[in-house]
Amino acid sequence: MIWFYLTSGLFLGWSLGANDAGNIYGTALSTKMLRFSTAAIITSVFVMLGAMITGFGTTHTLGALGDVNSLAGSFTVALSTALTVFLLMKRGLVISVSQAIVGAIIGWNLFTSSPTDYKSLALIVFSWILNPFLAGLFSFIFYYLFMQFLKRTKMHLLEIDYFMKAFAVFVIAFGAYSLGANNIANVVGVFVTSSPFKDVAITSNFIISPAQQLFFVGALAMVTGIATYSRNTTETVGTKIFKLTPTSSLASILGASVVLFLFSSTTVEKLLNNLGLPSFPLVPVSITQAIVGAVIGIGFAKGGRYINYKILGKIGLGWIITPAASGVICLVLLFIMQNVFNREVYTAIKYEINRPVVKEIEKWGVPVGNFTNVKDSTFESQQEFRTFLTKLGYNKEEYMFRIFKGARVEYFRIDSNYAKEKMSPNIFSVDQINSIKSMHNESFTHKWMLIERMMILSEDWRDLPNISQNEYRNKELSEKRDMICDFFKLK
């Protein structure tokens, strides 16, 4: 059953490879710079590398949108996304896998009465808008630089042809790496919480985590999609929006690839924050949107007279339909899985309301006046707790999300021997390690309780003042605190 549940993620990976990888090399094929076999091999190798090396960056944001906590639920969310991609792709629409997975996750949230993190959703939607705009801007700039370079070098035609083909290999490799790094979260991100895999110890210092195993399996599925079907999806972007030349083709691919890399790279994020500059959110974005924006940028660089706006309208329609269709399909499939096949599509979570919980959520900006006359209460599921909060008058989803987060009951117990085993000095400071060891045998019923205790024991667990230069450091610190909670959470 474990491998059966993973088949939907594999199908989604195949769909993403079939639909999105063609965007990386479609323009190179349409301009006859490379053969399909050459482009597919390069793309496959670097998609795999990007997923395994840099794939963690975007997974966290997608997980924050909705914590799919059951393997059957993860299967259904991924299947809904894959079906949406496949059905709309068969209709000839150029669609976004990123939008499809977001729609399916929101469908899961609605079905299970789980709150949606509007902050994460707003970040993702903002990236949908920024993505094609930046790709168009970068491709416009790259096209201008390429043309200036070719004019000044004064190469003859054979030299230009050789240079363009060699540069095409580099651009496609970079684009494939960026695609794997950014979009592997779309393929297996919903399986991270419910992952059936365990740590695999190759040596004492080399351990393959469950997430890495998921990334590898998902990347293989993407490679299969590239090899078997991606050639069929290159036509719209490669020829129908705007007729591209070899130079403009490379500029468009490079522009789109740079955008995907910026939305994936923790290194770029850290560099920008150290310089006091705003960083790009690490979220999965659509290579389809990026390459379309890039091709439009090339069109404007050439005067904008020959852009096929009718095709653009069809593409825009696909972007609107995709998340809505995916959400509806997910709701229907979740109902069928739960009521027809009797599968557990979500794990019920326990919540409690008491004085410490109310005091904590008040710190998070939630008005707590409605809890004044409420006695200490425990709730056995998401639906039961949402019904209770709705009756109290909490209808705003932002407040609902914060209350759910603060009231969620989880069990943690600190073991100093396990801390010594799991807390690497390469990741945690000496003071951080010692503070955790000092809590030996202490127990907690809420995640925030454990984190507050850590902050009391060591300054190394506390956030720095909220200024742009500290943003990346505080984010790293938050991730380390989450690691500690994962280490000592009782399953």
Q: Determine, yes or no, domain membership for 345.
A: no
Q: Determine, yes or no, domain membership for 162.
A: yes
Given this model, what pLDDT does residue 242 score?
47
- Consecutive H or E run containing 16: helix 2-30
Query: Tokens standing for 53?
Result: 């090396």
Given this model, what pLDDT does residue 232 score?
66
CA distance 451 to 307: 54
Claim to verify: residue 462 and residue 393 sit in the same structural domain: no
Name, in order, each residue with C-beta under 8 angstroms of 427's C-beta and a sequence gap of 6 or more.
480, 483
Query: Tokens standing for 91?
Result: 């209709």
Final residue belonging to a domain, choices 407, 437, 454: 407
Claim to verify: residue 245 and residue 385 sit in the same structural domain: no
Given this model, what pLDDT does residue 25 score?
79
Name, in order, each residue with C-beta under 8 angstroms of 174's C-beta and a sequence gap of 6 or more.
46, 254, 257, 261
Q: Determine, yes or no, domain membership for 418.
A: yes
CA distance 164 to 181: 25
CA distance readout (Å), 86 to 48, 90, 323, 397: 22, 6, 13, 32
Claim to verify: residue 151 and residue 242 sit in the same structural domain: yes
Given this model, what pLDDT does residue 204 score?
62
Q: Which domain holds residue 389?
A: 351-407
Claim to verify: residue 77 and residue 198 sit in the same structural domain: yes
Q: Number of folded domains in the chain?
A: 3
According to DSSP, the residues that pair with 69 across neighbouring strands are: none
Which residues in the chain come in under a pLDDT of 70?
Answer: 27, 31, 92-94, 201, 203-207, 232-244, 304-312, 314-315, 468
DSSP string, 441-488: T-EESSHHHHHHHHHHH-GGGSPPPSSGGGHHHHHHHHHHHHHHHHHH
CA distance 14 to 16: 5
Phi, psi of 207 (to 5 degrees): -120, 130
CA distance 178 to 262: 9
Strands 412-413 and 443-444, bridge-based pairing:
antiparallel
Claim to verify: residue 273 and residue 372 sit in the same structural domain: no
Q: Is 184 exposed, middle or buried (0-12, 13-18, 19+ CB in 10 A)?
A: buried
Claim to verify: residue 237 and residue 284 sit in the same structural domain: yes
Q: Which residue has the tokens 């059905």?
A: 87
- Exposure string of 363-373, with b = 16+ CB inside 10 Å and e = fewer, is eeebebeebee
Q: Is the dihedral of CA 431, 432, 436, 437 positive or negative?
A: negative
CA distance 203 to 210: 16
Claim to verify: residue 96 and residue 213 sit in the same structural domain: yes
Closest by CA to 259, choosing from 96, 125, 101, 130, is 130
Final residue belonging to a domain, choices 339, 359, 375: 339
Q: Determine, yes or no, domain membership for 438.
A: yes
Q: Is 421 exposed, middle or buried (0-12, 13-18, 19+ CB in 10 A)?
A: exposed
Three-class DSSP category at 352: strand
Question: Angle at the Cα of 94 (from 245 to 51), degrees rounded to 5?
Answer: 85
Q: Determine, yes or no, domain membership for 344.
A: no
DSSP string, 402-440: HHHHHHB---EE--HHHHHHH--TTTS-HHHHHHHHTTT
- Consecutive H or E run containing 207: strand 207-208
Given this model, what pLDDT does residue 55 score?
79
The answer to whether 17 and 226 have CB atoms below 8 angstroms apart is yes
Greatest pairwise CA separation for the chain in angstroms: 84
- Consecutive H or E run containing 167: helix 157-188
Q: Determine, yes or no, domain membership for 346.
A: no
pLDDT in tens, 407-455: 999 999 999 998 988 898 888 999 999 999 999 999 999 999 999 999 9
Final residue belonging to a domain, choices 304, 339, 374: 339
Claim to verify: residue 129 and residue 200 sit in the same structural domain: yes
Given this model, what pLDDT does residue 241 score?
46
The answer to whether 361 and 401 have CB atoms below 8 angstroms apart is no
pTM: predicted TM-score of the whole model, two decimal places:
0.86
- Exposure string of 197-235, with b = 16+ CB inside 10 Å and e = fewer, is beeeeeeeeeeeeebbbbbbbbbbbbbbbbbebbbebbe
Claim to verify: residue 307 and residue 385 sit in the same structural domain: no
Query: Tokens standing for 206?
Result: 């080399």
- Exposure string of 320-336, with b = 16+ CB inside 10 Å and e = fewer, is ebbbebbbebbbebbee
Q: Determine, yes or no, domain membership for 378.
A: yes
Claim to verify: residue 224 and residue 193 sit in the same structural domain: yes
CA distance readout (Å), 419 to 17, 260, 474: 40, 37, 22
Claim to verify: residue 214 and residue 274 sit in the same structural domain: yes
Claim to verify: residue 403 and residue 468 sit in the same structural domain: no
Given this model, what pLDDT does residue 67 score?
84
- Consecutive H or E run containing 208: strand 207-208
The answer to whether 288 and 94 have CB atoms below 8 angstroms apart is yes
